[in-house]
Amino acid sequence: MLFNSILLPISLLMAIISGVCVVRLSSSIGAAFVLPEYRYLMAGVQYADSFDVNLHKWLLVNFDCSALWVKNATYLVDAFNVDRVYLKHNYQSQDPQVPDYRHWQISLGRRFRSLKMWFVLKMYGVEGLHAHIKKQIQLADMFGKLVNQDPRFEVVTVTMGLVCFRLKGDNVWTKNLYERLMASGQIYLVTATVRSKLVIRFVVCSRLTEEVDVQFAWNEICTQADRVDSERDVTPASISNGLTGTWPKEKECELTTATAIVVKSLSQG
């Protein structure tokens, strides 16, 4: 996975800078750390001053809800402390081990987000959350295998529930495919750039996603890829023979302002 190649340098960097500046980590996939087999990705977290995980992105909590861990809560209390007379009560504790969380954030106007997390934990439990994350990763693996079986495509990265893939050849073909997918309105995807390659991101994140949904998405991708192939006049067989993205000499490709691919015969001028 992509993380493997950058994990050690990040850990070393955090060890170096932790004594010089404040280190804050924020993870949109941190929910996967409920699985012991993925906690190796947390290497170096001990050097962080704070660690934030977006629970609403993968841990079945509706938007918005994040869990924040801090190494030293003094900084938060010094910044947000509100100790007015009308807020004092007989149950206040001076023990730092019994924090008053209203001093950890902007006071008196925040929603009770932790209640949503409590309901999720109560309904699913640890085993239920483990099963949820594992299923999402398995569905992403299924999609990655479908992509690898088609010689027109390449898988660029796979990270847990995320698969980044593209059409082989110039970026213009992946862009064409993406625009066709968005125009069809059957599935929703986004693009990114990895090492100068334009990729399409396929993410499994809904608790309702099943294998049939992954297959539906792949069928739609293949349908639109067939239409791209008809424009660039390259067959899957020629791609597998090493002619990836190569145009016949008698043709040229023009990219119009509407980003549509137009094939024009040179013999016609």
Q: 235-250: per-residue pLDDT in tens?
A: 444 444 444 444 333 3
**Domain 10-120, CATH class in plain words:** alpha beta
Can you give the pTM of this predicted structure? 0.71
Domain with CATH 3.90.1150.10 in the chain: 126-234
Reading across the β-sheet that carries 197-203, which strands appear in turn?
153-159, 162-167, 197-203, 190-194
**Number of Cβ within a 10 Å radius of residue 210:** 11
Contact 203, 209 (CB under 8 A): no
Q: What is the pLDDT of residue 252?
A: 33
What is residue 45's DSSP assignment?
Answer: G
Q: What is the pLDDT of residue 233?
A: 65
What are phi and psi for residue 182, nearest 5 degrees?
-70, -35
Domain with CATH 3.40.640.10 in the chain: 10-120
Could you please state the CATH topology (level 3) that the domain comprising 126-234 is classified under. Aspartate Aminotransferase, domain 1 (3.90.1150)
Residues of the chain where predicted confidence (pLDDT) is lower than 50: 1-8, 235-269
**Cα 195 → chain centroid:** 17
Contact 70, 99 (CB under 8 A): no
